[in-house]
Amino acid sequence: MGHNELPLFYVFHFYFFGIVAIVSAVAFVTRKSPVAAALWLVTTMFSLAALYVLLDAHFIGAMQVLVYAGAIMVVFLFVIMLLNLGHASELADGRGMWWKLAAGAVGLALLAQVFALTRARLPEALMLPENALADQVARTGAIAPLAGPLFHEYLLAFEVTSVLLLAAVVGAVVLGKRKEREHAR
Amino acid sequence: MLAESLFFSAVLFTIGVVGVLTRRNAIIIFMCVELMLNAVNLTFVAFAQVYGAAGQVFVFFVMTVAAAEAAVGLAIIIALFRHRQTVNLSNINLLKG
């Protein structure tokens, strides 16, 4: 994908939302308070939704806002509120200095490895013609390019997903249920 | 914008890994795992633009797994908190030799 034909408007917003995502992710891992961390993570997720829209994945962007920022993060905030995780012993978080330095070194090594991976040559024979996905979205709407593979090639995986969700619901109910012994206390 | 997306994705994934290694609060570690899943989703969406929309189907599945994981994981954290009155992993060391 050459950059010259992309409008400046597009490129500016792509970098803007990418940098917002990274800055708020850094703020997320450095905040002491779990509530502040969760809200920074919501910012990261909204920026990622914007990046998805810029990458011609409009439906995934909407799902990101609805499912991640809207449902999963609300559950996280709800649990933080329920457990009342604001008091001092919980805020004394984090490890010692040596551990943090070791974690930073591991992070740098991982970053170097992932960058080496992104330099890999991509199989050009499989690449679609330029702007193929954007043209398809303009022609058939944002959902049809996703719905085609989902309900043909990946139909079995889609159906198995329902079993996964059922197992998760049953597991959450079993774990969340109070034992009779605890009622007696 | 494939190269830029891969760059952002790599940085976000590394931030998630460093967060898991440095924090001791179970809920924040759990949110770091969600951040890593999001970073991989960005890679999927970026490649879907170049190699076809089937990559977006996998983002869909990753989101489903993340939702299931959040439901079960947070239920485990609540059960743990009921037992130990803490979510700080330094105090939860029953399996440590």
- Nearest Cα neighbor of A174 from B81, B88, B75 is B75
- The pLDDT assigned to A132 comes to 85
- Region class of A131: left (phi > 0), else alpha (psi between -120 and 50), else beta: left
Q: pTM for the complete prediction?
A: 0.90
Lowest mean pLDDT across A47-51, A81-85, A149-153, B23-27? A81-85
**Mean pLDDT along residues A22-48:** 93
Show Cβ contacts of residue A57 under 8 Å, excluding neighbours closer than 6 positions: A146, B45, B48, B49, B56, B59
**pLDDT over threshold 80, residue B5:** yes
* B23 occurs within a structural domain: yes
Domain of residue B78, residue span: 2-89
Shortest distance, CA A122 to any CA of chain B (angstroms): 10
Handedness of CA A179, A181, A184, A185 (dihedral sign): negative
**Mean pLDDT along residues A55-66:** 93
Domain count, chain B: 1
Residue A107 contacts residue B58 (beta carbons within 8 Å): no
Three-class secondary structure of residue A3 per DSSP: coil
Mind listing the pLDDT tens digit for each residue in A106-124? 999 999 998 888 888 888 8
Strands of chain A (E only): list them: none
Lowest mean pLDDT across A11-15, A52-56, A113-117, A177-181? A177-181
* B34 occurs within a structural domain: yes
Give the CATH number of the domain where residue B32 resides.
Answer: 1.10.287.3510
- The pLDDT assigned to A27 comes to 95
- For residue B81 the two structure tokens come to 């908190």
Nearest-angstrom CA–CA distance, A94 and A30: 9
- The pLDDT assigned to B89 comes to 81
Decide which of B57 and A132 is more confident: B57
Nearest-angstrom CA–CA distance, A10 and A6: 7
CATH of A8-87+115-184 among 1.20.120.1200, 1.10.3720.10, 1.10.645.10, 2.40.30.10: 1.20.120.1200
Show Cβ contacts of residue A130 under 8 Å, excluding neighbours closer than 6 positions: A1
Cβ-based neighbour number of residue B61 at 10 Å: 17
**pLDDT over threshold 60, residue A51:** yes
**pLDDT over threshold 50, residue B62:** yes
- The pLDDT assigned to A171 comes to 92
Three-class secondary structure of residue B64 per DSSP: helix
Average pLDDT of chain B?
90
> For residue A159, what is the nearest residue in chain B, using CA coordinates?
B61
In chain B, residues 56-95 whose CB comes closer than 8 Å to chain A: 56-57, 59-61, 63-72, 74-79, 81-82, 86-88
* B78 occurs within a structural domain: yes
ipTM: 0.92
